[in-house]
Amino acid sequence: MSTAPALDTLIHAPGRLQICAILSSVSDAEFAMLRDTIKVSDSVLSKHLKLLEEAGYIALSKMTQDGRQRTWASLTAKGRKAFSAHVAELTRLAALTG
């Protein structure tokens, strides 16, 4: 029996999908850049990042900039693989329904 690829529900939520899309294009991105790009509040972004971090899809790190601690996020190898598989499945489904 073959297992059909499925959409990753954790990634598929709009905010997290955009976060993963941005992080897949860069090495890492800062909290404020992600917040401003996907147009959500600090608390909503924090929640998205926490869920992705708990799944092992992203890694968070703190860096001091202008005397303030800033949070930077990057996709892990597991997150990169999961996002690639998710995009491949979306592309397949879009071709079927397009």
Please give the residue ranges that form the binding site for other proteins (CB under 8 A). Answer: 12-14, 17-19, 21-22, 24-30, 32-34, 36-38, 65-66, 87, 90-91, 93-94, 97-98
Locate tokens 């892990």: which residue?
Answer: 76
Residue count of the chain? 98
The residue (of 55 and 72) whose beta carbon lies closer to other proteins is 72
Q: How far apart are CA 74 and CA 30, in angstroms?
A: 9
Least separation, in Å, of the C-beta of 29 and other proteins? 4
Nearer to other proteins, 28 or 53 (CB): 28
C-beta of 19 vs 49, nearer to other proteins:
19
- Long-range contacts at 62-71 (CB < 8 A, ≥ 24 apart): 70/30, 70/31, 70/32, 71/30, 71/31
**Minimum CB distance to other proteins, residue 59 (Å):** 14
